[in-house]
């Protein structure tokens, strides 16, 4: 069994924000593979879906604890359901990567991502797989003085980004399948 956790913030206010691309990626994976509908599990503080990919049992989770407390839900899900860090994949936005770049990393620090840091702190390990999806505009180099991560990540994708976003989510879904 594999647990794939998409990071984001719950609620309509954050639905189409860049910080929620982790939610969007696993929602795309869920639809593409005809998984069950997401249902809220109050104990886990997460919305859960499940299905199979290539005969492998997969659980998808969207923590409802807000990004900075994602570790709460992930710890409960791993402890309660017998998942280990070897069967955990975390999907999240990455401000340091340009929009559309998808990188897979294993056993790496949070690099300032508060959701990843929360998971590392709650699990007391960083030895899990992460699928990082770039959200920084390509025309803004890393460290641009006029681009502040804290406010930028909570901005919604522009209408003209929708085609690019669909391509990014397909690419992220493929990256996840390659790991499984």
CATH of the domain at 10: 3.40.50.1470
Chain Cα centroid distance, residue 77? 15
Region of 23 on the Ramachandran plot (φ > 0 left; ψ -120 to 50 alpha; else beta): alpha
Angle, helices 21-32/162-179, rounded to nearest 10 degrees:
70
122 part of the active site? no
Give kind and range of the element (H or E) at residue 127.
Answer: none
Query: Could you say which of 19, 92, 113, 122 is catalytic?
Result: 19
Digit-coded pLDDT (tens) for 78-117 = 998 889 888 999 999 999 899 999 999 999 999 989 999 9
What is the pTM for the complete model shown?
A: 0.94
Digit-coded pLDDT (tens) for 150-174 = 778 888 988 888 889 999 999 999 9
Structural domain including 96 reads 2-179
Tokens describing residue 3: 């647990």
Q: Virtual CA dihedral for 159, 37, 2, 5, nearest 10 degrees?
A: 40
Q: Give, in order, the Cα–Cα distances in Å from 33 to each of 5, 27, 77, 130, 170.
A: 16, 10, 22, 20, 12
Give the pLDDT confidence score for residue 146 in this predicted structure. Answer: 58
Of 32-36, 59-63, 67-71, 146-150, the poorest mean pLDDT is in 146-150
Q: Whole-angstrom Cα distance, residue 53 to residue 78? A: 20
Q: Which residue has the higher pLDDT, 26 or 144?
A: 26
Cα dihedral across residues 16, 19, 23, 25: positive or negative? positive
Q: Whole-angstrom Cα distance, residue 177 to residue 180? A: 5
Percentage of the chain lying above the pLDDT 70 cut: 94
Total number of domains constituting the chain: 1
Q: Whole-angstrom Cα distance, residue 144 to residue 147? A: 5
Highest mean pLDDT out of 46-60, 141-155, 159-173: 46-60
Tokens describing residue 40: 């809220």
Size of the chain, expressed as the number of residues it contains? 180
């Amino acid at each position: 069994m594999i647990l794939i956790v998409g990071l984001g913030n719950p609620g309509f206010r954050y639905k189409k924000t860049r910080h929620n691309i982790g939610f969007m990626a696993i929602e795309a994976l869920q639809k593409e593979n005809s998984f069950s509908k997401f249902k809220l599990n109050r104990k886990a503080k997460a919305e859960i879906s499940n299905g199979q990919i290539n005969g492998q049992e997969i659980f998808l989770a969207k923590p409802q604890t807000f990004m900075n407390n994602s570790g709460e839900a992930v710890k409960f899900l791993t402890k309660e359901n017998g998942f280990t860090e070897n069967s955990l994949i975390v999907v999240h936005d990455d401000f340091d990567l340009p929009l559309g770049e998808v990188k897979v990393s294993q056993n790496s620090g949070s690099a300032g991502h508060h959701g990843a840091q929360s998971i590392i702190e709650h699990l007391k390990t960083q030895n899990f797989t992460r699928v990082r999806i770039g959200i920084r505009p390509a025309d803004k180099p890393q460290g641009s003085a006029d681009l502040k991560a804290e406010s930028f990540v909570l901005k919604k994708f522009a209408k003209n980004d929708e085609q690019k976003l669909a391509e990014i989510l397909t690419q992220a879904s493929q990256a996840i399948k390659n790991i499984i």
